[in-house]
Amino acid sequence: MSASLTLWGTWLQALFTILLVSVVFKDNPAYRFAEHTYVGLFAGYFVALTYFNYLRPNITDRLIKKGEYLLLIPIVIGLLIYTRYIRSIAWLSRYTICFNLGIGCGYVLSKDFKPFFVDQVKATFLLLWGTGNWWKTFSNWIYVVGTVTSLVYFLFTLQKKGVQGRISQIGRVVMMIAFGAAFGNTVMARVSLFLGRMQFLMGTWLKLIKI
């Protein structure tokens, strides 16, 4: 039974891989079928995961069995989001959105403020001379100049003329280089995924190559 399930799983993976890759040539019903199947499976899995990992333990164990009735507060706040489907009381859904935004902002300020802001500011305070290594000194200059010029580019309260305009142009070039590098990394990651699927098709499925 296990071998049979493995075989069926391999053929299904191969079939849906081919259907999804077919969009490269032209948008077609086969690709849309595979796309909708994937989205549906993910949605169903997410609903089941949420129910068994969050809803069921909290409602059954903590609320009903242990009598932790304070859980009714977040439950009610969560259910208010569905009032947006009732036009007369749709405004109540804003409370859920505001609550989530408040919690999110508070979490970011308490947990992520230092690593994502303070530490990044500290990382720009680099030695511009006396490092003992010319390459490190050159890298530090590029890093500091790139950071400063990029920040100057976003000074929209000043007209981009004269010295400020020239510095803004340098910052724009720096950002274009950074965006290009990020895009290149994204392309490399997508190519790596594609090669993985081709390796699966040619090796695991068709047995034409050794893995």
- What integer pLDDT is reported at residue 120 of this predicted model? 83
Q: Tokens standing for 200?
A: 């699966």
Tens-digit pLDDT profile for residues 122-135: 888 888 887 788 88
How far is 148 from 171, CA to CA, in rounded Å? 8
Amino acid present at 92: L
Helix (H) or strand (E) holding 100: helix 93-107
Q: Tell which residue, 53, 92, 60, 98, has the closest CA to residue 76.
A: 92
Question: How crowded is residue 82: how many other Cβ atoms within 10 Å of its Cβ?
Answer: 11
Asked if 137 contacts 127 with a C-beta cutoff of 8 angstroms, the reply is yes
Tens-digit pLDDT profile for residues 182-196: 999 999 999 999 999
Report the SS3 class of residue 129. Answer: coil
- What integer pLDDT is reported at residue 1 of this predicted model? 55
Q: Read off the pTM.
A: 0.65
Q: Which residues of the chain have pLDDT under 50?
A: none
